[in-house]
Chain A
Amino acid sequence: MSELTVRIWRGLEAENGEFQDYKVPRLESQTVLDVVTYVQRRVDASLSYRFACRVGVCGSCAMSVNGVSRWTCRTHVSKVAKDGLLEIAPLRNLPVIKDLVTDMSVFFDKWAKARGQFQGEHTRHEAFAQVKPDSKARKNVDAAIECIGCGVCYSSCEVVSWNADYLGPAALSRAWTLVNDVRDVAQKERLQAVAGDAGCQACHTHITCTERCPKGISPTAGIAGLKRAVLNASLKGEL
């Protein structure tokens, strides 16, 4: 049976950690998450990592694999292992708690900061809002609504690495779905929240988030939409 050499980041903080090598049997249809799980169950039980569903729904198993952020449960070893070598590290742009586990509070706090919460005005006693499935706004929502919050885009974003205040692709993409939600009544506040040097205007359109998103979402397109919406609001004096 052939073997994989797996280098895994170990340590309590990014600065104090180091890579350690492990040998893992190479199996057919093996995923990167399978490899990490093998190490934790058979080689070193002290290895910390995060996963839940194993089928690409929950968004908790994202890691940096050979330098690229990926969802590990849906990433086949055959796709990423160069010469039988895997280097697995925690997501970038987030503080490391231990080994492969990052503290994602900043990531999710920024969703809240970008007014990622839906705010309606109808109660259960009123009729449902009617939104045409083929309307432009609804299509914009559809394009970005399947985000699983894995943090791959945030970890890949160069602007986040330069500017710690930048809200990041996921939070802005979420805000864009709500800007297009015709039922939402907090539009002005949301545009204020996503505007400016720490918001959509900071995006350099490198498109790394779009390239890496495992769900095929384009946060770049959403951010471009936000830029237009913010500029329009600003010209109308509504910002």
Chain B
Amino acid sequence: MRSIKVQVILWGAQRLSALVLALCVLVHLATIIYAVRSGLTAAHIVSRLHQSSLWTVFYSLFVLAIAIHAPIGLRTVVAEWGYQGRIIDGLLGTIALALVVGGFRALFALQGLA
């Protein structure tokens, strides 16, 4: 059980990240629909994303919003199943870290930054 302050901050962070995600998902989906109009190849994707600072900023924001949003949502679901405490929070922190690492690894690979 975290302090009331932390609980409210987590709730606020989830709402804010949901707002970011709503926009990001829309842009992401619209781009997919636009991009596959003449077939989908790996070369096309890489050529569009490679060294594009605009897409780097966009997908960085997307990855961060996911890493914030998903673990907090999972925390609520798990709490309603009756599980909470330090171990759960630790596990969820690990999931957040994994999302950040996995997300940025994929992003850097596509952007040609790594």
With A162-B80, A163-B79, A163-B80 given, is the CB distance from A196 to B7 under 8 Å? yes
**A162, A202, A227, A239: the one within 8 Å of B5 (CB):** A239
**B2, B4, B79, B80: the one within 8 Å of A192 (CB):** B4
Q: How many residues of A contact B (CB 8 A)?
A: 14
Instruction: Please tell me which stretch of B8-16, B46-54, B55-63, B90-98 contacts chain A, meaning at least 4 of its Cβ atoms lie within 8 angstroms of it.
Output: B8-16
A162 to B8, CA, bound (A): 20
A135 to B7, CA, bound (A): 32
Contact B79 A195 (CB under 8 A): no
Quick one: which of A195, A196, A202 has the most chain B CB within 10 A? A196
Contact B8 A231 (CB under 8 A): yes
Mask: chain A, 86-119; 1 = CB below 8 Å from B; 0 = not:
0000000000000000000000000000000000
With A192-B4, A239-B4 given, is the CB distance from A197 to B79 under 8 Å? yes
Residue of B nearest to A194 (CB): B4
A195 to B10, CA, bound (A): 12
A202 to B1, CA, bound (A): 14
Interface size range of chain B in the complex: 10 to 19
Contact B79 A234 (CB under 8 A): no
**Closest CB of chain A to B6's CB: distance in Å?**
9
A14 adjacent to chain B (CB < 8 Å): no
Contact A230 B80 (CB under 8 A): no
Residue of B nearest to A231 (CB): B12
A195 to B3, CA, bound (A): 10
With A201-B11, A234-B9, A234-B12 given, is the CB distance from A196 to B4 under 8 Å? yes
Residue of B nearest to A234 (CB): B8
Residues from chain B with Cβ under 8 Å of A195 in the complex: 4, 7-8
A231 to B11, CA, bound (A): 9
Contact A197 B12 (CB under 8 A): no
Count contacts between A and B, CB distance < 8 Å.
32
A197 to B1, CA, bound (A): 9
A196 to B12, CA, bound (A): 11
A201 to B76, CA, bound (A): 10
Mask: chain A, 212-239; 1 = CB below 8 Å from B; 0 = not:
0000000000000001001100100001
Mask: chain B, 74-86; 1 = CB below 8 Å from A; 0 = not:
0010011000000
A117 to B12, CA, bound (A): 27
Quick one: which of A197, A227, A231, A239 has the most chain B CB within 10 A? A197
Residues from chain A with Cβ under 8 Å of B11 in the complex: 201, 227, 231
Contact A201 B80 (CB under 8 A): no
A11 to B68, CA, bound (A): 48
Residues from chain A with Cβ under 8 Å of B1 in the complex: 197
Residues from chain B with Cβ under 8 Å of A239 in the complex: 4-5, 8
Mask: chain B, 1-44; 1 = CB below 8 Å from A; 0 = not:
11011011101100000000000000000000000000000000
List the interface of chain A (C-beta within 8 A of B).
Answer: 159, 162-163, 192, 195-197, 201-202, 227, 230-231, 234, 239
- Of all A-B residue pairs in the complex, the 10 with the closest CB atoms, nearest first, are A196-B7, A162-B80, A201-B11, A196-B4, A234-B8, A197-B7, A195-B4, A195-B8, A231-B12, A239-B5
17 contacts between A and B (CB under 8 A): A159-B80, A162-B80, A163-B79, A163-B80, A195-B7, A196-B7, A196-B8, A197-B1, A197-B76, A197-B79, A201-B7, A201-B11, A231-B8, A231-B11, A231-B12, A234-B12, A239-B5
